Amino acid sequence: MGLAALVVGVALGAGSLWYMLFRAAPTPYVSVGIWRMNPLAGSTGNDPYSRLRIAITSILALNKSETIYFEALADNDGAPLTAACDYTLIGQPPAARWWSVTAYGPDDMLIASDSGRYSASAASATTLATGEVEIALTPDGSGPNGIATGSGRFELLLRLYQPAPDLAAAPESAPLFRLVKGACRA
């Protein structure tokens, strides 16, 4: 009887905390196309729930004036990004001192590949005549400025180091890379 109360009580306490963190008041993401940004990343939370949410979702992140992080987990239709499909990111380089796009597996770790093409960045990416940058997202990282997506689901992280003041002030209006979905394999 006592042990049962303990088990049920702990489960109820942990469950209610999870509900408060991720359901009752979910992270107030700022969305731009496929990208979303957690405005709390790197900040000092002003209430205990915010502080715990920051610790879980963005530990060791830099604050917004230093770096803005946009993540993408799904395509334009809301379907999870998967290496079963090819994609292309295209757009003007973001207004920041430096930018990079990196692919991660569902465990948030870098994706192993023979090519070692983990990211495309302001330093490595070639630009089209239009000034735009095209980034191929393919299983082996082949294609222009290619990033390897591996064999399963993946996520993208766009880092903007020392973003332009206008972008930092209004990230919801930032012109970011668009996603074009290509062929999918069975």
Partner 1 sequence: MKIVKWLLAVLVIAAVTHAALLYFGPSLVMNRAMAVVAAGSGINTMSHAPRPTADTDRIVRSSPDLLYSICPYDLGDGPLRINAEVPPGTYWSMSFYDMNTNNYRVINDGQASAGAVLIVLMKAGTLGPAPAGAELVASPTPRGIVLIRTLVNDERSLQAIDTVRRRAACTTLQMPLE
d(CA 105, CA 93): 24
Nearest distance from residue 173's CB to partner 1, in Å? 24
For partner 1, the closer CB: 58 or 181: 58
**Least gap, CB of 95 to partner 1 (angstroms):** 15
Nearer to partner 1, 52 or 180 (CB): 52
Tell the smallest beta-carbon distance from residue 27 to partner 1 (Å). Answer: 15
Q: Which two tokens stand for residue 43?
A: 């900040």
Task: Please count the residues of the chain.
Answer: 186
Distance from C-alpha of 120 to C-alpha of 177, rounded to nearest angstrom: 12
Give the count of beta carbons closer than 10 Å to the beta carbon of residue 50: 17
Q: Is 25 in the site for partner 1 (CB under 8 A)?
A: no
Q: CA triplet 35, 37, 40: central angle to 5 degrees?
A: 170
Smallest gap from Cβ 9 to partner 1, in A, equals 3
Nearest to 53 by CA among 82, 89, 26, 83: 26
User: In the complex, which residues of this chain contact partner 1 (CB under 8 A)?
Assistant: 1-2, 4-6, 8-10, 12-14, 16-17, 42-45, 48-49, 51-52, 54-56, 59-63, 66, 97-98, 100, 102, 104, 107-113, 116, 118-119, 121-124, 157, 159, 161-162
